[in-house]
Structure 1
């Protein structure tokens, strides 16, 4: 996907929109801003507990869930890089896990995570987004996953179980 050339004024507007996303949506929990800064047909490619892509309703549900699960949730911008119609935002989050979040009961532990979001802009609004963050590290800090757990151990066990025909490899229907 090639990026479309943009003026420095457009790029500045995109950076300002990213900052609104951080401050107004994630930090203040003002869900209505999501409609203002995203296209109606926004598509998000990021982790959902049930899989698939996210639209505006799922994004709103996710942000509301963050604020239900972390009463003092905070997202801080680490960097913003803009190139054409694409913007990358590095972030750091923190908060106390005081309520249920993504099916995990409150632990009353403080959690932190780092990640990035990449957004593609269309007509001045976020049309598509990708996000990754350190979910394993956050779950370890919340005490949900043991500190000594290493993903490589899990993958090694999964590989062994697959070789023993205990686990079966399947393809998701939407991937053919």
Structure 2
């Protein structure tokens, strides 16, 4: 029985927002790769499954009241594209920045590639400018 890939992609985004990516292993291939543009440190990056889980954990150490909302999804073949909006309050240090105490909202797009019932690769593009502006940085 095959999975509902749109539902799977939505669930993974919700797990990200809930800091529950430890529950994501059922959906992700062991060699999953997450490509970020931009990444939070600037530039681009590609993260393995363990690096991606660490990124989510680090984010949640610096941000609380995280709300992830999936706005739109389109699926074609082995791909699912999800447009999302995230809101979070910066209540702790994140990367090299101290807490601002501000709430920020930004949007992004995930394009997920599946092989069978497992997500093997994601490409993430997000509005870093809106994120930084909301933080007053």
Which one scores higher on RCO, CA 8 angstroms, separation ≥ 6? Answer: 2
1:96, 1:110 within 8 Å by CA — same for their partners in 2? yes
1:124-163 aligned within 5 A: 124-144=117-137
Cα RMSD (Å): 1.7
Aligned match of 2:41: 49
TM-score (norm 1): 0.71
* CA distance in structure 1 between the partners assigned to 2:116 and 2:94 by the alignment: 34
Aligned match of 1:18: 9
Which structure has the bigger radius of gyration? 1
TM-score (norm 2): 0.89
1:23-34 aligned within 5 A: 23=14, 25-34=15-24
Comparing both structures, which one devotes a greater share of its residues to strand? Answer: 2
2:90, 2:99 within 8 Å by CA — same for their partners in 1? yes
3-state DSSP class of the match of 1:32?
Answer: helix
2:10, 2:82 within 8 Å by CA — same for their partners in 1? no
Unaligned runs of 5+ residues in structure 1 are 1-8, 145-176
> What is the deviation of 1:19?
1.9
Comparing both structures, which one devotes a greater share of its residues to helix? Answer: 1
3-state DSSP class of the match of 2:10?
Answer: helix
1:57-108 residue CA offsets vs partner (Å, 9 max, x unmatched): 1110111122111111111000111000000000000011001123221100
